[in-house]
Amino acid sequence: MENGIYSENCITDFPPITYPTQVSLLTGTYTGNYKKEPCHGVPLLNWMDRDSAPPILREYAAKNLQIYKINDDMGNNCQTILEMVGDENTASIAQFINRGSDYIFPERKTKLAMFYLLLKYLPGVKRRLIRSNSVIAQKLIEVFKKPKKFFDNSEPPIASLLWFISSDLLMHKFGFDSHIYKLNLLHIDKVIGVLIDNLKRMGYLEDTAIAITSDHGNYKANKIGNLNNFLKQKGLTNYHPLKKPRGNMDIAYYAGVGFFYFKGMNNSNVKNCWDRPTLKELGNYGPKRINLLEELFKINGSHLMYYRDNGNTSNKGLIHLKRKIKETGKIITGRIEYMGNGSSYKTRYISEDVDYDIFNFMPDDVASRLLDNKFHTIQEWLEATYHLDYPLFPDLIPRHLKNPRSADLILSNDETIKFGIHHGKQKGKNLYDHDVGLRKCMAVPLIIGGSLEIPHKEISYCKITDIVPTLLNILGKTPHKSVIGKNLV
């Protein structure tokens, strides 16, 4: 860290969940309208594909191997760092997002899936995790030692991806404050040390830059909630994509942040098609004709709501924002407007209440200056909000909602209650999670070290998408046109 570039305030993506954050981390861009814009197409861990009728449910889980579709789901308007480095050899170790890799470990798809399932569910977790960390580093050392065995020539890889998944598994199961979690971080540190020692011995270290980061932080909820009674009362039923599809709603994902999909009035007249509902439909929905835009705030712990205006396009649009003030129960409104795409994209964040704003930027001297009715770039939002909860949100929320695969309505809890819902099914029972917009989930550390040629400096703030252009700059390569991040050197 002290011999390279580092930052304690690297701001990750929305939502701060492994997918999409790792896709943004490895492409240097964010999500958006992936069919039209330079951006990637992965909005979330679980999402609904409305292009099919009946719609298909995506769930990136090792158990059903859908996880491997993520490489296609990214779309053709972005590239991974492995694609951007060109024709030279590349390696991906235990990383599912590996488009452009010449060597992938483990070689068989089912092996990596099994590897994660074993880690997660079998006893003897400590020994298994320690072994998994070591295997990842040892494999890369082997690739450097005997490139001929893994590629068609004897050149070592110019770029390699490694994913130590053990820290996320332990964080959810035992907590970020547990002894085993901390021990495991120390073990990953040790394993990286072994990798560095070996690179040094082989004479590669002086030509190497190693970037170390995390895709999200964490928080601990007070309790696990249950939504079954609430949904029943409101006439909301979960979608099942069976032969005879049923249900009028899909909660694709809801730990601390809920992503809701609803069935619009079939304007396209295609059987079983889930058209996107209009605001009017959302205000008068289902057999009980409930106003979702108000009623969903009755879910315990919820306090923020985001949804699109009718008729948003890729280049221009409006996102409605609501916040329930905890103390009084009063609901205030605001909005984000966006224009442009790619490098011309800017957003304007407006509060419709004089005393409060949705993300609570008003009390901060710096952030409040951007509530000036003007459009601002991602860099301006970063500079003004990196130190607060909901950092970068006025920029990131519209990017997410531009993706046609994203939900109709997003509901965010405070950190008190989480649910653990995946496509309508209650699964997780762990109190530890990381999906809400609090700073402790959104700000992660970044270290870029290795060669002594890397400049020594602390960066006060940066974004997860800055890593790709920085590494490419060190390599003397040009980033793909979709890259939003900037070179930190």
Print the binding letters for residues 189-218 with Zn ion: x by CB under 5 A, - otherwise.
------------------------------
Nearer to Zn ion, 103 or 116 (CB): 116
Q: Considering CB under 5 A, how many residues would be counted as binding Zn ion?
A: 1
Residue list 131-190, contact with Zn ion (CB under 5 A):
168
Q: What is the 3-state secondary structure (H, E, C) of the chain?
A: CCCCEEEEEEECCCCCCHHHHHHHHHHCCCECCCCCCCCECCCCCEEEECCCCCCEEEECCHHHCHHHHHHHHCCCCCCCHHHHCCCCCEEEECCCCCCCCCEEECCCHHHHHHHHHHHHHCCCHHHHHHHHHHHHHHHHHHHHHCHHHHCCCCCCCCEEEECCCHHHHHHHHHCCCCHHHHHHHHHHHHHHHHHHHHHHHHCCHHHCEEEEECCCCCEECCEECCCHHHHHHCCCCECECCCCCECCEEEEEECCEEEEEECCCCCCCCCCCCCCCCHHHHCCECCCCECHHHHHHHCCCEEEEEEECCCCCCCEEEEEEEEECCCCCCEEEEEEEEECCHHHCEEEEEECCCCCCCCCCCCCHHHHCCCCCCCECHHHHHHHHCCCCCCCHHHHHHHHHHCCCCCCEEEEECCCEECCEECCEECCCCCEECCCCCHHHHEEEEEEEECCCCCCEECCCEEHHHHHHHHHHHHCCCCCCCCCCCCCC
Residue 444 beta carbon to Zn ion: minimum distance, rounded to whole angstroms: 13
Report whether 247 contacts 238 (CB < 8 A).
yes
Burial class (CB in 10 A: 0-12, 13-18, 19+), 247: middle
Nearer to Zn ion, 77 or 184 (CB): 184
Residue 95 beta carbon to Zn ion: minimum distance, rounded to whole angstroms: 15
Nearer to Zn ion, 142 or 168 (CB): 168
Nearer to Zn ion, 22 or 89 (CB): 22
Residue 47 beta carbon to Zn ion: minimum distance, rounded to whole angstroms: 17
Nearer to Zn ion, 382 or 444 (CB): 444
Residue list 291-330, contact with Zn ion (CB under 5 A):
none
Q: Which residue has the tokens 């069919």?
A: 35
Residue 301 beta carbon to Zn ion: minimum distance, rounded to whole angstroms: 19
Nearer to Zn ion, 174 or 204 (CB): 174
Nearer to Zn ion, 15 or 100 (CB): 15
Residue 458 beta carbon to Zn ion: minimum distance, rounded to whole angstroms: 28
Residue 214 beta carbon to Zn ion: minimum distance, rounded to whole angstroms: 10
Nearer to Zn ion, 42 or 484 (CB): 42
Which position's Cβ is nearest Zn ion?
168
Residue 126 beta carbon to Zn ion: minimum distance, rounded to whole angstroms: 19
Q: Which residue has the tokens 């069935």?
A: 263
Print the binding letters for residues 341-380 with Zn ion: x by CB under 5 A, - otherwise.
----------------------------------------
Nearer to Zn ion, 37 or 433 (CB): 433
Report whether 441 contacts 455 (CB < 8 A).
no
Residue 235 beta carbon to Zn ion: minimum distance, rounded to whole angstroms: 32
Nearer to Zn ion, 218 or 351 (CB): 218
In 3D, which of 164, 155, 111 has the Cα closest to residue 137? 164
Residue 63 beta carbon to Zn ion: minimum distance, rounded to whole angstroms: 16
By residue count, the chain amounts to 489
**CA 461 to chain centroid:** 19
Residue 217 beta carbon to Zn ion: minimum distance, rounded to whole angstroms: 10
At residue 429's C-alpha, the angle toward residues 12 and 162, to 5°, is: 40
Nearer to Zn ion, 277 or 420 (CB): 420
Residue 20 beta carbon to Zn ion: minimum distance, rounded to whole angstroms: 13
Nearer to Zn ion, 17 or 199 (CB): 17
Residue 187 beta carbon to Zn ion: minimum distance, rounded to whole angstroms: 19
Interface with Zn ion by CB under 5 A: which residues? 168
